[in-house]
Amino acid sequence: FLLSLKLENKTRGKLQKQVCQVVLDHFEKQYTTELGDTWTSVRDVLTYPSCWQYAVLLNKFSQSTELENVLCAKGYHPAFQGPLPYIPASLKCYIKRTPGRFPAQKHQAGNLKEYYLLNAASLLPVLALEVKNGEDVLDLCAAPGGKSVAILQCASPGNFHCNEYDDLRSRWFKQTIESFIPNPLINLITVSKLDGRQIGDLKPELYDKVLVDAPCSNDRSWLFSSDIQQATLRLIRRKELSSLQFQLLRSAIKALRPGGSLVYSTCTLSKAENSDVINLILNSCRNVVPVDITEMAKATAQEFTFLSGMQQHELLVLPEKGRAWGPMYVAKLKKMESI
């Protein structure tokens, strides 16, 4: 028993070693202030990857009933079962309560993957966007591509424009799309490497729906930065992110048609990059209004833990044991019809 305890502590020590103390100290200060007691349980999940969970998003373009049977036999169940305002039958995502990751599939040219492994909370922005067949859609910051793939599981947009400014991430995005989307459909997707802050001026009022899954301080990956110098630099530059996010949102609003809607999302708990950015947009852009997404939150409350006290147009998913999804912030806005 003592030996196994020693081994367990050794393993735990190894895991602890991977956590970047500089980042943890920074988060500790900020999130204790912003989240209060809730931060303690969230921190326990974020700093302990052994309790992380992964959802399995099925690829409708490479369907296999056998896969669904295997997942059910392994204790997985559909993630979205409640009376959601928008849940296309073609969107199938499986999760289970216990930690662990279903085996990943390797990228093979010419072969479509059967599923995509992801954080289940990252599908909430897609569900909030409510894309319908034939709509013109812009995914402003598209890499690594999970949300673009999910949008295509839901509907067939008329024009689907996926943009990724970063060169490396853009290549990653293209590989993701090649792995999940069949050739004739790939040709209908416009992939660009434009500066997202300029798209609104380049393509004004062209889209019915815009997703801004903004560059943010990714709490999960930042906590495990192996390079302390890079981590310190990230934390210094963190203050600049909200300004970039605001500019991307301004651009997205210009790209939206009147009557169109926009979803903003991040994978950070940071208020400065979430509610503060949205409040700034609502206060400075007279032509957008918030859209109530509480019905979606209510319908998914069995699988996700949400921070209480949020406004009706936003939600924040908090990771907790057994429901280790998030962090994921989602907010929805609509562009007013021209008078």
What pLDDT is stored for residue 339 in this prediction?
59
Q: Please give the full DSSP string across 194-214, using - where no structure is assigned.
A: --TTTHHHHSTT-EEEEEEE-
Q: Is residue 112 part of a domain?
A: no
182 is written with which tokens?
A: 């069949």
CA triple 14-215-113, angle to 5 deg: 75
Tens digit of pLDDT for each residue in 220-243? 999 999 999 999 999 999 999 999
Known binding-site residues for S-adenosyl-L-methionine equal 141-147, 164, 195, 213
CATH of the domain at 239: 3.40.50.150
- Total domains, the chain: 1
Domain ranges, residue 255: 15-53+121-335
Q: Is residue 58 part of a domain?
A: no
CA-closest candidate to residue 46, choices 222, 227, 309, 214: 222
Q: Is residue 189 part of a domain?
A: yes
What pLDDT is stored for residue 16 in this prediction?
47
The answer to whether 128 and 120 are in contact (CB under 8 A) is no
pLDDT at 181 over 90: yes
Tens digit of pLDDT for each residue in 26-67? 999 999 999 999 999 999 999 999 999 999 999 999 977 899
What pLDDT is stored for residue 108 in this prediction?
81
Could you tell me the pTM of the whole model? 0.93
104: left (phi over 0), alpha (psi -120 to 50) or beta: beta
Catalytic one of 93, 154, 216, 267: 267
Q: By percentage, how much of the chain surpasses pLDDT 90? A: 87
Average of per-residue pLDDT across 275-282: 98
Q: Is residue 95 part of a domain?
A: no
Q: Is residue 9 part of a domain?
A: no
Catalytic residue status for 285: no
Known binding-site residues equal 141-147, 164, 195, 213
* C-alpha span between 61 and 112 (Å, rounded): 8
Provide the b/e sequence for 242-274 (b: ≥16 CB within 10 Å). Answer: bebbbbbbbbbbbbbbeebbbbbbbbbbbbbbb
Q: Is residue 274 part of a domain?
A: yes
284 is written with which tokens?
A: 């400075």
* C-alpha span between 23 and 283 (Å, rounded): 32
* C-alpha span between 262 and 129 (Å, rounded): 7
CA-closest candidate to residue 304, choices 40, 152, 122: 122
Q: Strand 115-118 and strand 189-192: pairing?
A: unpaired
pLDDT at 260 over 50: yes
* C-alpha span between 304 and 124 (Å, rounded): 10
What pLDDT is stored for residue 268 in this prediction?
98
